[in-house]
Amino acid sequence: MEFGNKTKRSVNSFTKERKAMIERIKQETQLTASYTGRKKLNDRVIQALANVPRHYFVENSQQRLAYIDSPLPIHCGQTISQPFIVALMTDLLELSEDAVVLEIGTGSGYQAAILSTLSKAVYSIEIIDELAKSAQNKLTRYGYENVTVFVSDGYYGLPDHAPYDGIIVTAVTEEIPQPLLDQLKPGGRMVIPVGSRSGRQNLLQITKSDAGEIEQRNILPVAFVPLTRYKNKKIEPAEMNIESIDPDQEKADKIDEN
């Protein structure tokens, strides 16, 4: 399945930088193999990182830095993750082409674009309205049409489209959210950073067996921004403000702005 066709015009953009990024990801994979158990990442994942134009998803002022192996700041105090971490977390999901994936923390939309090229459908939750709309606009504009972004509290997941073959959480939580475990399909995998906001954090791979049993594996130490939550009120699933971003409306808004 092929998505992101509109990005083909960018194949020759940052060509040397892209190749260098891929080489650094491969080197970092070997250096961390004693932690991760992975000396090599899946070829489909490497190809996705090579094809998706990261410079489309960073701030204009950061474009020259788009392919360094480092996180970069985006709007609203959030970040776009280090390419190696994006590659590793994606690889740990072990997705098939017909997989349905839930992402918690859309951010810039870059991770969702990577997932888009590897799976059937991606549902992504972003609590910050400005980021959600910006990400959906970019994803639609660049041809990642199997991604739908929702504005909501990601802690509770998205029950309406569950169960999911893979769940990826791109911000640290102090505990593994039970709603996300409940929405993971038997045989599915979740990749999530868990730990304190300012202290030790570990990237975990969670596997649910066909019998529904949960297995947890520590992958390696990481550093993520905290998962943003709604404040001052406990939000139960039935009360969540789940708002889907309409890609067609985003296009119309863009035309109106111009």
Catalytic residue (choose from 10, 34, 81, 244): 81
Q: What is the pLDDT of residues 59-114, one digit of tens each?
A: 888 889 999 989 888 877 788 899 999 999 999 999 999 999 999 999 999 999 99
Model pLDDT, residue 238: 39
Q: What is the pLDDT of residue 228?
A: 85
Angle at 71 between CA 68 and CA 76, to 5 degrees: 135
81 in catalytic set: yes
- pLDDT band at residue 197 using 50, 70 and 90 as cut-offs: confident
Angle at the Cα of 155 (from 149 to 158), degrees rounded to 5?
45
Query: Tens digits of per-residue pLDDT, 66-80?
Result: 999 898 888 777 888
Task: Calculate mean pLDDT across residues 226-235.
Answer: 68
What HEC string does the chain produce? CCCCHHHHHHCCCCHHHHHHHHHHHHHHHHHCHHHHCCCCCCHHHHHHHHHCCHHHCCCHHHHHHCCCCCCEECHHHCEECCHHHHHHHHHHHCCCCCCEEEEECCCCCHHHHHHHCCCCEEEEEECCHHHHHHHHHHHHHCCCCCEEEEECCHHHCCHHHCCEEEEEECCEECCCCHHHHHHEEEEEEEEEEEECCCCCEEEEEEEECCCCCEEEEEEEECCCCECCCCCCCCCCHHHCCCEECCHHHHHHHHHHHC
Is the per-residue pLDDT at 255 higher than 50?
no
Cα–Cα dist 133/247, whole Å: 9
Q: Which residue has the tokens 């979740």?
A: 190
How many residues belong to the chain? Answer: 258
User: Mean pLDDT: which of 12-16, 152-156, 179-183, 197-201 is highest?
Assistant: 179-183
Q: What's the mean per-residue pLDDT of the chain? A: 87
* Domains in the chain with CATH codes: 5-257 (3.40.50.150)
The pLDDT of residue 252? 44
237 has pLDDT over 80: no
Q: Which residues pair with 243 in a beta bridge?
A: 151
Alpha-carbon gap, residue 56 to 95, rounded angstroms = 24
